[in-house]
Amino acid sequence: MARVFLTREMPGRAVEILQAAGHQAVVWPDELPPPQVELAAELAQSHAALTTVVDRITPAMLDGAPDLRIVANMAVGYDNISPAEAAERGIWVTNTPGVLAETTADMAWALLMSAARRVTESDRHTRAGGWRTWSPTGFLGMDVFGATLGIIGLGEIGEAMARRAVGFKMRVLYHSRTRKPALEADLGLEQVGLDELLAVSDYVSLHCPLTPETRGLLGAREFGLMKKRAILVNTARGQVIDQDALVSALRDGTMGGAALDVTDPEPLPLAHPLFSFENVVITPHIASGSMATRSKMADMAAENIVAVLAGKEPINPVNRGHR
Ligand code: NAP
Ligand code: GLV
């Protein structure tokens, strides 16, 4: 019987899937993730781990886990572990691509709309008793219909975002590593350089992974290129943005607002200056968070573990190329 450590209670059938395959599922019982020392101790006794984006798996932890064969991340992003370091030690890393794209794009769209139409800001105002009359100038926002959306990272979620924008008759620009002629033809997308995308878009939405190339992709220079009323949406990773530069741009009024599901660090301390702006929406990294999608993600991670423990290749490996 193999020991599988799950770093949190999971929605869906993950435990059932693991037990049905004859494995022992050991679930970390707290709402908060295991501290690094506890995580290392659990990995040291396990054959497999089902992890989340907040579980930082270090090379030293992998060295201390002689029986570990797979780290199955319940996420599409896997910047919490080095796939190459894991592969060097013969350990598979897997993720959960595809199943969360529509749900995450729904949330990115909700954030975009919230910032454009000042939804959370006016809700706060209403709850505080500020609604005194209908006002011709009250809470005027930005139109979304017919505006220009710039997508950075045209993968599964970026494409799902573009399909939503088509329904709003938006002009959709994208900047990605690879050109996507089929999507350009199907959805009328236009590939442009990053600077042009930033200069022309009314809304900029980030959908690239966090990698050495994308860390700090948007900083002071890039924010300076954006339209004065443009809104930035980030459901990718907080570190793709230079957050201090974002604070300065918002303070100087060189951009219209930001809607962030991801920050650096997470959680963002309450004293952080980003919380002081009325034109900033912040949610606690919940973009894939529908019951159905999170269940699919956890089930998928469990299926990857079952495959590897049965001596097969995993279904969603991210480090095959490193092996
Ligand atoms: P994906 O399908 O792999 O798409 C990522 C896209 O980014 C790919 O199309 C990729 O390149 C492009 N890209 C990579 N490096 C780039 C660079 N340097 N510059 C521009 N584009 C680059 O992944 P996904 O499923 O859409 O997810 C994207 C990211 O969203 C994840 O990695 C994760 O960090 C984040 N995420 C967050 C949440 C949340 O809860 N907030 C939920 C899900 C995902 P190509 O052009 O070569 O295809
Ligand atoms: C969530 O952040 C994910 O990468 O799936």
Q: What is the pLDDT of residues 47-56, one digit of tens each?
A: 999 999 999 9
Residue 18 has what pLDDT? 98
Residue 323 has pLDDT above 80, yes or no: no
Nearest ligand (C-alpha, residue 52): 2
Q: Is 108 near ligand 1, meaning CB less than 6 Å away? A: no
Find residue 26's DSSP bridge partners. 5
Nearest ligand (C-alpha, residue 207): 1
CA 228 to chain centroid, in Å, comes to 26
- Structure tokens given for 296: 């699919």
Nearest ligand (C-alpha, residue 298): 2
Give residue 289's identity as a one-letter amino acid code: G
Q: What residues contact residue 51 under an 8 Å CB cut-off, 6+ apart?
A: 7, 57, 71, 72, 73, 74, 80, 81
Q: Is 308 near ligand 1, meaning CB less than 6 Å away? A: no
Active site residues: 237, 266, 285
Q: Mapped to the 3 state alphabet, what secondary structure does the chain carry?
A: CCEEEECCCCCCCHHHHHHHCCCEEEECCCCCCCCHHHHHHHHHCCCEEEECCCCCCCHHHHHCCCCCCEEEECCCCCCCCCHHHHHHCCCEEECCCCCCHHHHHHHHHHHHHHHHCCHHHHHHHHHCCCCCCCCCCCCCCCCCCCCEEEEECCCHHHHHHHHHHHHCCCEEEEECCCCCHHHHHHHCCEECCHHHHHHHCCEEEECCCCCCCCCCCECHHHHHHCCCCCEEEECCCHHHECHHHHHHHHHHCCCCEEEECCCCCCCCCCCCHHHHCCCEEECCCCCCCCHHHHHHHHHHHHHHHHHHHCCCCCCCECCCCCC
- Structure tokens given for 187: 């959805």
Nearest CA to ligand 1 atom 14: 208
Average pLDDT score over residue span 168-178: 98
Predicted confidence band of residue 253 (pLDDT cuts 50, 70, 90): very high
Q: Alpha carbon of 167 to those of 143, 147, 163, 188: distances in Å?
A: 14, 12, 7, 12
Neighbours of 83 (CB within 10 A): 23
Q: Are 315 and 304 in contact (CB under 8 A)?
A: yes
Q: Are 91 and 70 in contact (CB under 8 A)?
A: yes
Predicted confidence band of residue 292 (pLDDT cuts 50, 70, 90): very high
Q: Is 288 near ligand 2, meaning CB less than 6 Å away? A: yes
Out of 55, 81, 100, mutate this one to test ligand 2's pocket (max ligand atoms within 8 Å of CB): namely 100
Percent of the chain with pLDDT over 90: 99
Q: What residues contact residue 244 under an 8 Å CB cut-off, 6+ apart?
A: none
41 CB-side CA count, 13 A = 6
Q: What is the pLDDT of residues 117-171, one digit of tens each?
A: 999 999 999 999 999 999 999 999 999 999 999 999 999 999 999 999 999 999 9
- CA–CA separation, 128 and 120 (whole Å): 12
- Burial, 157: exposed, middle or buried (Cβ in 10 Å; 0-12, 13-18, 19+)? buried
Q: How far is the CA of 140 from the centre of ligand 2 (A)?
A: 33
Q: Is 213 near ligand 1, meaning CB less than 6 Å away? A: yes
Q: What is the pLDDT of residues 184-221, one digit of tens each?
A: 999 999 999 999 999 999 999 999 999 999 999 999 99
Q: What residues contact residue 289 under an 8 Å CB cut-off, 6+ apart?
A: 103, 107
Q: Is 77 near ligand 2, meaning CB less than 6 Å away? A: yes
Q: Is 237 near ligand 1, meaning CB less than 6 Å away? A: yes
Predicted confidence band of residue 321 (pLDDT cuts 50, 70, 90): confident
Residue 322 has what pLDDT? 83
Residue 273 has pLDDT above 90, yes or no: yes
Q: How far is the CA of 109 from the centre of ligand 1 (A)?
A: 16
- Structure tokens given for 215: 């860390």
Q: Are 287 and 104 in contact (CB under 8 A)?
A: yes
Residue 240 has what pLDDT? 99
Nearest CA to ligand 2 atom 5: 75
Predicted confidence band of residue 252 (pLDDT cuts 50, 70, 90): very high
Q: Is 261 near ligand 1, meaning CB less than 6 Å away? A: yes
Q: How far is the CA of 262 from the centre of ligand 2 (A)?
A: 10
Q: Are 170 and 148 in contact (CB under 8 A)?
A: yes
Rg of the chain over Cα atoms, rounded to whole angstroms, equals 21
